[in-house]
Structure 1
Amino acid sequence: MSTIVSFKNVQKTYDGETLVVKNLNLEIQEGEFLTMLGPSGSGKTTCLMMLAGFETATHGEILLQGKPINRIPPERRNIGMVFQSYALFPHKSVAENLAFPLKVRKVPKDEIARKVKRALNMVNMEKFANRMPAQLSGGQQQRIAVARALVFEPALVLMDEPLGALDKQLREQMQYEIKQIHEQSGLTVVYVTHDQGEAMTMSDRIAVFNNGIIQQLAPPPVLYENPENAFVARFIGESNELLGTVASVDRERCTVKLESGQNIHAHAGPSVRGTGSASISLRPERVTVGDQAKSCDNVFQGGVKDLIYYGDHLRVVMQVCGRNDFIVKLPNNGDARQLRIGDSVHVGWMAECCSALQ
């Protein structure tokens, strides 16, 4: 797989003092679906805008297919763009909206018709060619926006929070459809979102941004199972965080003495270098409650403070290891339904199910 986009020591500042993006080095592979994920102000959208050409890098170089593009205007970069706002021309029909980027590129009329039909077929909107944007639902408009980004067969498609205006059910449907289009077409997609569930569902790799720096770049399962630092552990999925000090390290395992006095045996994350303060990251679904917890590497007594019914699972709020907001997710089966607020039960998890991070 070859590299299609390279960021080399890229920096961006708007005021000459504060760096919004700090020494970004990133390679995006041809045909992959890469998501830039992070909270507001983390630098992810600025990176996308620099790649699109709507912002200029203060320092460093951006390469597309091996060629520097810093000084090339957006319309000459051969990049498709999908915005949250759809940005469709209200006075043009669906077909005319799709034909516009082809006319700008002086594509012959008969080829325009063929390409427009092909793009509409890709998003299952071929029956809507003569409709006006105002006659379409939000989801239909978003499909047209995606088709318009694909119609001129760009080298790269950028998507900036494209599903942010849709309701939950439609959003999930569009996630699946965009991923299907990506897989069928072989396009390279760079996608920006602050929604970690969306990123986990769609991406081949995720770049997690915070304070203008990529905190970790990895496939979704790696980010979830092996976060490299406490920020990634908190931002990707849900995690119980327990604070303490590393007491000992033995290869990939370590012992952390919590502030509340208990010892926890954990997987030693890549940032653990020896003694010093550390945080334990533990996913709520990795915790066992009741008699079966007694066989775990880490076993404690916990008090049930609240039970929240979610249909397929129970969310149990517990007092464990000095924390009053310790979360456990249990499948909605007979054992889980036996729990009552006020119960005192064994709580346990295996060492490999939690990570110590420094």
Structure 2
Amino acid sequence: MTITQLHYVLAVAEHKNFTRAAQKVFVTQPTLSMQIQKLEEELEITIFDRTKKPIQLTEVGEKIVKQARNIVNESDRIKDIVDQQKGFIGGVFRLGVIPTVMPTLLPMFIGNFLKKYPKVKLKIEELHTEAILEKLKEGHLDAAIAATPLEVESIKETALYYEPFVAYIPDNNPLSKLSKIEVDDLNIDDMLLLEDGHCFKDGILNLCKSSREYDTDQLQLESGSFETLVKLANEGLGMTLLPYLHTLDLKEPEKSKLRMFKDPVPAREVSLIYNRSELKIQIIEALRSTIAGVVKGAIAFQNVKIISPINKNKE
């Protein structure tokens, strides 16, 4: 049994196809098939049911894949240990970022980070939280930036900052007359929301649910971006909530429509999340310190109440 064979098994388990798996690990399909067959013969079991389309894992194959993932991760730690011993911060680093954080946070730190750590090759993907967790589990991401807490046992979370929710209220809304608002002032039926899949939407629903019951069938207008929500609000179609960093780039006439919450301000916790195996921890720590350095000056709120990003409606 070799680490290479286990890599091949994981590739086939992911792609459910020998040809695509071979392309992924940069070998020919016959080579990959032969090595997996040799492993099956050695173990005297069948890992994959080749009669099904797409290819499926057998019952014992499921257990082998789970253990193979652990073994491959631990083997990767050997190089990681050497890099840490040498003080080397470099190599490919795959980072996932949720859509509601990407456009505001990335420009704030990416230039500083690449200048300070020129040997790191960052590969960044914009992904929803669900996809991020799956890719972390499969080993296709080294870390991610997401709203937390997520309550996933295998994932470690390091808080980067706490970002308040800010209300964007058009002039035709009675709440526009208030200098500050409270959670109890919110009417979920008047709220413009991001479409399904965005954890910020779930955060808003959880925030409103804490004060009153709501009927999700009544939710009408949803969008994929905060920019569209602001435009819809400007048309008098409702109000919305924005993350604080998104409000900094609004034009002055739009900033006049912003209302902060009274203390404790509802906020989301934004964290660097990664597997508990802590592979490439030296790069993770470099990212954390770089982001903390630039965000500290932008967000100075202390008295906040963290709103969970977990979709409580699925419980």
TM-score range, shorter chain: under 0.3
Q: Which has the larger radius of gyration?
A: 1
Q: Which has the higher contact order (CA 8 A, sep 6+)?
A: 2
TM-score, scaled relative to structure 1:
0.24
User: Higher helix fraction: Structure 1 or Structure 2?
Assistant: 2
TM-score, scaled relative to structure 2:
0.26
